[in-house]
Amino acid sequence: MKNSDLKTWGARAAAWSADYLDNLRDRPVRPATRPGDVRASLPAAPPMEAESVETVFADFESLVVPHMTNWQHPRFFAYFPANSSPPSVLAEWLTATLAAQCMLWQTSPAGTEMETHVLDWLRQMTGIGEGWHGVIQGGAGLATLSAILTARDKALDWQSKEAGLFGQKRLRIYASSHMHSSVEKAVFLSGIGRDNLVKIAADDEGAMKADAFQAAIDGDRAAGHIPCAVVAVLGSTGVGVSDRLTEILPIARAEGLFSHVDAAWAGSALICPELRDFARGIELADSVVMNPHKWLMTNFDCSAHFVKSVDDFKKTMSITPAYLMTQDADDITDYSQMTMELGRRFRALKLWFVIRCYGVSGLQKIIRDHVRWTAELADRLAATQGFEITSPPRLGLFSFRIRPATVSDGEALDALNAKLVDAINGDGTLYLTQTVHDGRYVIRVSVGTTGTTADDIDIVYKKIVELAEPLQGI
Ligand SMILES: *Cc1c(COP(=O)(O)O)cnc(C)c1O
């Protein structure tokens, strides 16, 4: 391919993209692909001679696309959204064209300064307060890992950077029982060890119990351990519960613990002032992560990580061999000095395109629609015979199950609801996933795809009721 071929093929890819997104409703959300199907359709060895773009593009359409789970499908209600939008797609193309490495200011001045600036826009949009410095990470899990690594080294006054953890006292990390699995992963990858992750019981609303948190710290100090950090969650993955930051963060402050807030999904809702209540007190945290790649119309990967002390992250992550020295420059940010990554993508460009092309009010409208539709759908199911709401709508998420009058046994109900999920996902009209809540199998509905409309919500309601009907009679 010559550079100038991008004109023809770019136009073709653009047309394909627009048609794909416009016609997604006609495709199943999930393909009927069996494990091994895709590889069986591909040649075992790479081509020795160049193939035409025509052939490769045709194979993309016939061998790849039919075997994709369509995350941008308007009736994708599984997991959490990983949404996108036309301005984001456009910027991603341009990012690939520039193919710049954003490790140092001088390797990409615009990449670096846009990252700082656009995240400061997002800081203003979300109302999280002053004093934050933004960095874009490849995922919330990576932001949480970098926060735990920083908390670890800070607690040991960075001696660990030279000596490792050998001979050190135990570091203790606290999190609610509703934390995301990435917290556990960060704790074992950091060498702190899973035994030192203290899961604090949650109250009836799903928030970490503050007195239990305080008691755990006191007990650990008495045992000679080092209380190191707390990870609070806003919008848990199961049913969307949040810790009460106004209770947890003052304790962390008073006890000298590093605090990290995982708002991977729910954080995007902060752009709507009337939805901010769940995050009250967030300004006291040391570190906060939220994913525009989940619910802010920006395609993966774009995880916004806000930190109070850049210096703490730098002390933990920085390494400066001669070839990475920047000469004659003060007051610059070399992002690779505060992140785990050395080579870094220009991720800020797509967020800049998205914020400008929608405007804050355009993004607010989408999120408000999602939140309203979530509540309306939950209300409709609650009013339908044989259905039960198992966790109330929280932002764009609720859970339900069917509960026929004739079935009371817990395990039989679990099995029946598992059957319903299979029936729904086998049908292809929509895609839902399950979780275990309070020990019981429940079905999650997560509304957050850019292309979802009120009509889709109506179709979903009718389809769920239709597919549940044969199971309701059992
Ligand atoms: C999705 C999610 C994560 C992981 O996010 P990635 O960006 O995929 O790493 C972490 N925490 C919570 C609460 C999440 O919902």
Residue 167's CATH number = 3.40.640.10
Give the DSSP H/E element, type plus range, for residue 423: helix 410-427
Note down pLDDT in tens along the chain; length 474 residues.
Answer: 999 999 999 999 999 999 999 999 999 999 999 999 999 999 999 999 999 999 999 999 999 999 999 999 999 999 999 999 999 999 999 999 999 999 999 999 999 999 999 999 999 999 999 999 999 999 999 999 999 999 999 999 999 999 999 999 999 999 999 999 999 999 999 999 999 999 999 999 999 999 999 999 999 999 999 999 999 999 999 999 999 999 999 999 999 999 999 999 999 999 999 999 999 999 999 999 999 999 999 999 999 999 999 999 999 999 877 777 766 667 889 999 999 999 999 999 999 999 999 999 999 999 999 999 999 999 999 999 999 999 999 999 999 999 998 888 889 999 999 999 999 999 999 999 999 999 999 999 999 999 999 999 999 999 999 999 999 875
Strand ranges of the sheet holding 433-437, from the earlier edge strand across to the other edge: 387-394, 397-402, 440-446, 433-437
Q: Are residues 149 and 43 in the same domain?
A: no
Domain membership flag for residue 93: no
The residue to mutate among 177, 182, 189, having the most atoms of ligand 1 within 8 angstroms of its beta carbon, is 182
Domain membership flag for residue 183: yes
Q: Are residues 214 and 295 in the same domain?
A: yes
Comparing CA positions, the residue from 123, 124, 143, 145 lying closest to residue 134 is: 123
Point out the ligand 1 atom lying closest to the alpha carbon of residue 179: 13
Q: Are residues 284 and 201 in the same domain?
A: yes
The torsion angle over the Cα atoms of residues 248, 254, 255 and 259, rounded to 10 degrees, is 50
For residue 469, the model assigns a pLDDT of 94
Domain membership flag for residue 138: yes
Q: Is the CB of 146 under 6 A from ligand 1?
A: no
Q: Are residues 424 and 448 in the same domain?
A: yes
Q: Is the CB of 115 under 6 A from ligand 1?
A: no
Q: At what angle do helices 245-255 and 210-222 cross, to 10 degrees?
A: 20
Q: Are residues 310 and 374 in the same domain?
A: no
The predicted model scores a pTM of: 0.96
Q: Is the CB of 291 under 6 A from ligand 1?
A: yes
For residue 408, the model assigns a pLDDT of 81
Please say which residue of 313, 345, 377 terminates a domain.
345
Please count the CA atoms within 13 angstroms of the CA of 199 that sit on its side-chain side: 12
Q: Are residues 390 and 471 in the same domain?
A: yes
Q: Is the CB of 387 under 6 A from ligand 1?
A: no
Please say which residue of 287, 319, 345 terminates a domain.
345
Q: Are residues 321 and 374 in the same domain?
A: no
Q: Are residues 160 and 295 in the same domain?
A: yes
CATH number at residue 34: 3.90.1150.170
Q: Are residues 396 and 275 in the same domain?
A: no
CA 410 to chain centre: 32
Domain range for residue 289?
101-345
Q: Are residues 200 and 116 in the same domain?
A: yes
Domain membership flag for residue 94: no
Please say which residue of 322, 345, 368 terminates a domain.
345
Domain membership flag for residue 127: yes
Domain membership flag for residue 5: no
Point out the ligand 1 atom lying closest to the alpha carbon of residue 142: 9
Domain membership flag for residue 64: yes
Total of domains in the chain:
2
Point out the ligand 1 atom lying closest to the alpha carbon of residue 233: 13
Structure-block tokens of residue 262:
């995982």
Q: Are residues 376 and 325 in the same domain?
A: no
Distance in Å, CA 91 to ligand 1 centroid: 23
Domain membership flag for residue 379: yes
For residue 474, the model assigns a pLDDT of 56
Q: Is the CB of 84 under 6 A from ligand 1?
A: no
Q: Are residues 67 and 183 in the same domain?
A: no
For residue 331, the model assigns a pLDDT of 83
